[in-house]
A and B are shown apart, each in its own frame.
Chain A
Amino acid sequence: MPEDPNPRYLTPEYGSSVLRAPSQPLVMPKLGPDAIELTSPVFGAGELGALDNDLTLQHAGAPLGERIIVTGRVLDSDGRPVPNTLVEVWQANASGRYAHGADQHPAPLDPNFTGAGRCLTDADGRYRFVTIKPGAYPWRNHPNAWRPAHIHFSVFGAAFTQRLVTQMYFPGDPLFPYDPIYNSVPEFARERMISRFDMDTTEPEWALGYQWDIVLRGADATPMEG
């Protein structure tokens, strides 16, 4: 069985985990996950809007910041593509501010950027978003705490047990060594969260391209540990 790449629930360096991490061991069903847990919701193409995967076209004007293309494949644990699965993203704007009332960072909002998108993977498991490179932003976890720039990803897969919410980072971010959320992942798996700059995805006179594949765990192979 491969080593568990996931963080532990209790990660004291990440202050919010201290009162929210379960303290009891998880209970493992003897027979493994059951029929319902091995099912995933089905999404039809007609349920999504035409502009849902282009975060730069959702308002009257163009958002400020560096336009980027983020694309990659959703794969299962055997490396097979997962087609027709829902991929959702949300992120801060180029200044590092979320369009959310609770975000107190004194950086400007962008009236042309909400920062949320979604799409279905194609037959090859590929997703693709056009967006703005998000900015780094401060938070109050510890003195002078800053999150490295990231895009939040939510992916379904073929089973409820494969459900994954994670964050995609950008190569070479100087904030990696200081971020307790990035470092909550065991060292051997951290780079799996970093996208790769890709000149072939980059479109001339238009946008830089990043590639990032998302690999889901086996549907019933690797139970979560505490």
Chain B
Amino acid sequence: MVDVREDILARLLEVVAAIPNIRSAYRNNTEIAENQLPAVIVFDGDEETSDTQNRPSNSPIIVQMTPEIIIAEQSDEVGSDLTTLRRELIKLVLFDTELNNLIAQSSPRGNGAIRYLGCQTDLGWMRSLHGALRAQFMFKYTLRPEQL
């Protein structure tokens, strides 16, 4: 059994947990307390396919998965902190050997990819200034139904 989606998401959690100065890393955790900050959360991504050709139902198809990663922090310098954490996040994800190997192995013809799509920020006051950054990545890989 090979489930590229799950392999990517599991590895993604390991990668983001390695961001310097991150205190806690979670997958799909929607409730965070301040003592867990700075925290990073991987949210399982939506998947889309664009395969509309008339082919057998079990044919391999190209999938684009867009997991989202939230980094939450609380400090008076939260803007600079988030910028630093974002920089490390992008570098770690795009250059991670294991993630790139997962994509390459699923799509040996070279049509797989990892892309950073962008980010948005949210700010608010609590004990000090709170900020969150949500970053999107796109993982393009080949889904092979016979391997599931």
Partners in one complex: no
